[in-house]
Amino acid sequence: MSRALPIACLLAACAGHAPLHPQYPQSPEWHDGQFENPGEWPKRTGVRDVLKWRLQPHDPTPSGFRAPFVENDGKRLRENAGKQLSITWIGHATVLIQAGGLSMLTDPHFGDDTGGLFQRFAAPGVARKDLPLIDLVVISHSHRDHLDEESVRALGPSVHYVVPIGLGRWFRARGLDQVTELDWWESTEVHGRNGGAATVHLVPAQHWSQRTATDQNQSLWGGYVIDAGGQRFYFAGDTGYPAAFPEVGKRYPGIDYAMLPIGAYEPRWFMHPQHMAPEETARAFHELGARELVPIHWATFRLTDEPMDEPPKLLYAAMGAQANRILFLPIGGTYWGR
């Protein structure tokens, strides 16, 4: 792939924001016309660092890599309709959670690429057409590998979308009006088609947002704690470290399943403010006080420089004696709760 398009897009991602966007003075994260991370968190790198990274020699895309993958035709998931707990990794940050009579998706992405930049290494673990009826979708932020327009349009207006503050207008402009915007530490209750309900909490993440050259940090970003069917799920979205993991664990104790990113972390001098390395994921998991760790955000797109098969190796090493708490799913794999 030509370097010109990635460089142009990355430069756009560092461009200043337009002055005529909606304002959000009610949000504690809104400062001087844009959303910002807390000042004590690591600062994101700038345009010169983008160029330095993208123009340095890169290893070619590894042709021999094969993502861990199992066939999943979705039949049992459709029959289940959320009655029994299930967690299915569809790929990248897309997870299907069924609990409490609801079927829920995180950051749905069923496309072949990320807006023309990065191609998929593996097909979605469950094809979009084979999904159960989806009641709830949570979106962590506006980046194209997490908010895929074609995927959410295909899911349609009957789904309830929960998004960070500032992102609701993007959905409403596309006729997806059943959307709830949250600020950090805010919550909402969502009811499913079959009478089930989930309480959704937006929690801080150490990241940023961008879709065009003029909307940098014009919508917030975050992770989610979801309570459904007597279970508590944490979905981190995209985040660097240290973020607010101890505070999340304190405010929402008893997290059963923590879906945490383990990929897209090299080079560290560039990526550390926005993506965790596996040893940081292990640290975050312990700070959350969660019971089981579900690794996500690897093996689907090659966004950064680490070997595609490296993240789980480093995660298992970092977890050490606690590695038995990793709930490892291949793409398409489903964990069925008892």
pLDDT in tens, the chain (338 residues): 333 334 444 444 444 444 468 999 999 999 999 999 999 999 987 767 767 766 676 665 666 889 999 999 999 999 998 899 999 999 999 999 999 999 999 999 999 988 777 889 889 999 999 999 999 999 999 999 999 999 999 999 999 999 999 999 999 999 999 999 999 999 999 999 888 999 999 999 999 999 998 999 999 999 999 999 999 999 999 999 999 999 999 999 999 999 999 999 999 999 999 999 999 999 999 999 999 999 999 999 989 999 999 999 999 999 999 999 999 999 999 999 97
Q: What is the dihedral of CA 225, 233, 329, 244, to 10 degrees?
A: 40
Beta-strand pair 231-235/257-261: parallel
User: 260 - beta bridge partners?
Assistant: 295
DSSP tag of 320 = G
Query: DSSP readout, 134-184?
Result: P-EEE---S-TTTS-HHHHHHH-TTSEEEEETT-HHHHHTTT---EEEE-T
Residue 332 token pair: 């398409």
Q: What's domain 75-336's superfamily in CATH?
A: Ribonuclease Z/Hydroxyacylglutathione hydrolase-like (3.60.15.10)
Q: Within its chain, how far is the Cα of 102 from the centroid? A: 19
Asked if residues 257 and 292 have their Cβ atoms less than 8 Å apart, the reply is yes
Distance (Å, whole) CA 67 – CA 284 = 25
Instruction: Delimit the domains of the chain by residue range.
Output: 75-336
- Would you state the pLDDT for residue 13? 43
Helix (H) and strand (E) counts in the chain: 9, 15
- Would you state the pLDDT for residue 53? 67
